[in-house]
Amino acid sequence: MIVNGINGTDNMKLKKMTNDLLFRIEPIKVITESKISEELHYHVNNKISLSENIYRYGSEKYFTLINEVRELYITGKLKLDPLDESLLKTDIGESTTYNGNKVWLDIPYLNEAEYQGKNVDIGKPKRGGSKKFYVYVKDGDKVKKISFGAKDGGSSLSVKLKDPEARKSFAARHKCETQNDKTSASYWSCRLPRYAKALGLSGGGTWW
């Protein structure tokens, strides 16, 4: 079927492109009048996605905002862009107790340890090293340094993080849903979008 010179397939692609553009303009949209926090108001009014959470990564308020958005989204009071929707499909914001301490799920447990005579942050990716990024992880009683990401990945990563199709393709190629070994480079490459803000990249959420 041709509509104004555009066939059905092209028309669907055009609608998708338009929706993606609108989401980038307004990533969080309130569709039902609700009482929301000052922090969420700030996100909505300044068109900031949840993936670019204004609070420090891993802080109590960081998770409080995520859980507020999740509750409003589940009850149909908010509309989110695909990136934020994918973030809420994880267990991020959920917590449990381990050895008497509160531990957040679906996010590496952040603490300090010693590596080659110096104190380092565990589970916190940073730029540099032999590849584009590196992270220190616990492997039993030992601390390992994991390097990941193509050295020349650079600015193209920001583009991929914003492109749903590119994220889906990356996840399929690297089998991200099966990468659960925190001592592997693949694990961290597959979860790179969650650390986008801390690493100075645009976008966020998850690859899959």
Q: List phi, psi (to 5°) of 133.
A: -135, 165
| φ, ψ of residue 170 in degrees (nearest 5) | -60, -45
**Tokens 């996100």 sit at which residue?**
43
Farthest CA pair distance, the chain: 69
pLDDT of 37 higher than 80: yes
pLDDT digits (tens, 9 = 90+) for 64-74: 999 999 999 99
Q: If pLDDT is split at 50, 70 and 90, which confidence band does 36 have?
A: very high
pLDDT over threshold 50, residue 103 = yes
- Top pLDDT among 141 and 20 is at 141
Q: Give the model confidence (pLDDT) of 134-152 as tens digits.
A: 999 888 878 899 999 876 6
Residue 199 and residue 126 in contact, taking contact as beta carbons nearer than 8 Å: yes
Q: Is the pLDDT of residue 208 over 80?
A: no
**pLDDT value of position 112:** 65
Q: Which two tokens stand for residue 92?
A: 């991020």
* Distance of alpha carbon 207 from alpha carbon 177, whole angstroms: 9
pTM of the prediction?
0.50
Highest-confidence segment of 86-95, 106-115, 127-136, 199-208: 127-136
106, amino acid identity? D
